[in-house]
Structure 1
Amino acid sequence: MIPGYNSITQAFLGTLFTWALTAVGSGLVFVFRSGQRKILDGSLGFAAGVMTAASYWSLLDPAIEMAQSSGFYGANGQWAFVPVAIGFALGSLFVYTADIFIPHTADSPTSIALAFDTEPKRLKDGDISAQEIQEQSGQQKDASLETSGIEGLAVGVGFGAIGKSKSATFESARNLALGIGIQNFPEGLAVSLPLRGAGLSTLKCFW
């Protein structure tokens, strides 16, 4: 994400940045106790807001502007929203289909993450074993890996579209990568904290 480099290098740097923030989020397991759910709740809500804003201003808005300037969607570009809406629907369908056909996403990663504050008590009471908690967190890691591919695609599209329209600028692509990175920050925390609650060592939870 340094001005002057080609789009491939920019996409690589942007993806590397999002990975680094995931690692930083996971590293907070060295700071926070496993029962501090309010921290995770607040960070997930913040990440959702950032990602929603970034997806519109860095992807949807430039896409609509590019469609309008192409001249293919009405004299005044009044139908420019059609290809964007179709792409949005196909992307949503892809994620939904992946959740259905990939076994490890059978349990919602969000529900696993938000349930982490109950796991130490369930572990103590014998309602759940440490192995089961590790398996659940492993499912979340796999689901996070799946979404990372989609996020990498979004970063690549953002940098590849630079210069194609007035809205498709280096700044908008950079902001998209920043938004995805911020969204990944609590995702790393959501993976490491449940493992800590299961009694694993802090270092193992981080890796």
Structure 2
Amino acid sequence: IAQVMVSTFAGYGFARFKFFGKNLIFGLLMLTLLMPPQAILVPLFLTFKYFSIGPIQINLLNTIWPFIILSLTGLNLKGGLYVFMMRQYYRGLPKELEEAAYIDGAGAFKTFFYIVLPNGIPLMVTIFLFAFTWQWSEAIYTPLLLPNIQVLTRLMLNVISPNRDIDPAYLSVIKNTAGLFTIFPIIVVYLALQRYFIKGIERSGIVG
């Protein structure tokens, strides 16, 4: 949810406001989509293992805080894609809606929360589905930041890895069952939000 809100604010800022270095910052943000996750594993690990707040140094590994910090700063998994999607949507939103609100005396924040934000709900739901799906089955950042906690991705990797002591037929049943348990929550969430997902994809501008 935090990642959705940060992407919404950032996308609206890139779409509507002019500020120094706007194109450069947006270009750097897009470059994060081309960077393989393996390239930042060591810096990410060291950052949260020796996380500093002034003179105080805290080890944030094996806690939920690294994921919260990454979400609030827009640096979580596929964060650049979400900002791009929101930017494309807000660029296509008629400015007359905001101008009418300004004429009626609404300020920038009131216009955003009462006019702009409600129109972006389908795309926000789409981003939530993307974030939930990728984070649910993510197998790079999660084992790195939660090394001593048995999470779903680590258990899945243990099941998938070959084991000669188990009968191949029985192992196949275990793999299929594990795969079903993995995708079942995603299917449920998608079916519940399918209507918003389709609308969000249509409005994001990423389809032909």
Q: TM-score, normalised by structure 2?
A: 0.31
| Higher RCO structure (Cα 8 Å, ≥6 apart) | 1
From the CA coordinates, give the structure whose radius of gyration is larger.
2
Structure whose residues are more often helix by fraction: 1
